[in-house]
Amino acid sequence: MYLDQISFNNFRCLVDGKLKFDRYFNLIYGKNGQGKTSLIEAVHFLATGKSFRTKKVKEIRKYNLNRLIVFGKYRHKDLSENIIAIDVNEDKKDFYIDREKNKYINYVGLLNIISFIPEDIELIIGNPGIRRNFFNYEISQAKKEYLQSIVNFEKILKVRNKLIKEKKTGEEIYKIYNEKFIEEGLNIVLNRREFIKKLSILLNLNYRKLFDENSELKLKYDCFLGDVEKKTREELKEKFEILCRRKSEREKFLGYSLLGPQKDDFVFELNGKNAKAYSSQGEKKSIIFSLKISEIDILIKEKKEYPIFIMDDIASYFDEVRKKSILSYFVNKKIQCFITSTEDLGIEGKKFIVEKGKIINE
Ligand SMILES: Nc1ncnc2c1ncn2[C@@H]1O[C@H](COP(=O)(O)OP(=O)(O)OP(=O)(O)O)[C@@H](O)[C@H]1O
């Protein structure tokens, strides 16, 4: 798929307007602080309903304005098109698919996007919550039912926590919610296990191909249930129930749930060593880049469509040699790219010059 057009009103510093993109390569070019990142952030926001820079929607609305609208038209490989839009009023977001108001859960994953931005390094060095959020979104893009499980689980967890806090763990209602907690928790665990297994194989292949053929890169699922490899759902359920019983006194004492997939983590291991603790800056960037490429591979396989790709500030990531090999990777794969840069990259496509928020297509 590819994004054919976008229009925006009141998005950060951008001057309101409509842009028509190249099917393949779009260079967003300009000096620092002109609005390049804001433009790819608008593309990301249109696709996901989220910014990659902030959780606060207030920060992406133009200073002192309450309303923000992004609107886009994307095409599938058979050239059929869809129109999507997000209308933000204060902090409330309304999602539109083909001009009809729709639920967020139906909107997510329509326009598939993979991004590569400097903040992604947090996926290795940041806290587990960052990795959980990231993989939750990525698995949801490939598999809609997973997002539904996450939404259900969060509601169930809230009730379970409330019942523990109110010391109602002896009541029938707690038993019902605990059972739901285990079942939905297991759905999440099994999906994560399957996704990470596939991703880890691709990650290693891509890392070796792009960066170092003598290395071994693994992504491990650090599940709260311990080793979940090769275990059946029944075996995992039994383990989950035992853990619930074992932790119940401590949970009552503290007043919240101490176990569940909300405690999971994911670990990158380069040559048998945890990348967070041992890998160099360059290696970390290469791991993240390989991760993003592997996600593209997964989306192509699962959805039979190419996602779009955005990359912020390519020069800050890679030296000349790597930059060239990365750019030629995208050119060969025929993926629609949006890349910001302070220098001209000399690749065929469209060039958008950004100056004080104004975008000119050269
Ligand atoms: N909500 C907002 N409303 C209006 N302007 C904003 C808003 N948020 C940020 N800005 C301004 O937008 C400008 C452009 O920021 P942006 O990060 O998009 O630039 P950039 O071209 O990517 O810069 P760099 O190359 O330095 O990363 C900044 O000067 C910033 O002050």
Say if 248 falls within a structural domain. yes
Residues in the chain: 362
Say whether both 146 and 295 belong to one domain.
yes
> Does ligand 1 come within 6 angstroms of the Cβ of 42?
no
Say if 117 falls within a structural domain. no
Q: State residue 322's pLDDT score.
A: 76
Say whether both 206 and 323 belong to one domain.
no
pLDDT tens-place string over residues 138-169:
999 888 899 999 999 999 999 999 999 999 99
Structural domain total, the chain:
2
pLDDT tens-place string over residues 244-256:
999 999 999 999 9
Q: State residue 328's pLDDT score.
A: 82
% of the chain residues with pLDDT over 70: 100
Domain residue limits at 40: 1-112+305-361
Say whether both 355 and 297 belong to one domain.
no
Say whether both 1 and 108 belong to one domain.
yes
**Residue where a domain stops, chosen among 253, 285, 303:** 303
Say whether both 143 and 282 belong to one domain.
yes
Say whether both 270 and 142 belong to one domain.
yes
The residue to mutate among 8, 27, 38, having the most atoms of ligand 1 within 8 angstroms of its beta carbon, is 38
Give me the residues paired with residue 219 across strands: 268
User: What CATH number has the domain bearing residue 240?
Assistant: 1.20.1050.90
Residue 208 pLDDT level (bands cut at 50, 70, 90): very high
Say if 141 falls within a structural domain. yes
On the 0-12 / 13-18 / 19+ scale of CB atoms within 10 A, 24 is middle
The residue to mutate among 13, 62, 63, 68, having the most atoms of ligand 1 within 8 angstroms of its beta carbon, is 13
> Does ligand 1 come within 6 angstroms of the Cβ of 341?
no
Say whether both 284 and 171 belong to one domain.
yes
Say whether both 325 and 337 belong to one domain.
yes
Residue 335, pLDDT above cutoff 80: yes
> Does ligand 1 come within 6 angstroms of the Cβ of 36?
yes
Say if 142 falls within a structural domain. yes
Say whether both 5 and 45 belong to one domain.
yes
Question: What is d(CA 198, CA 215) in angstroms, rounded to the nearest whole number?
Answer: 18
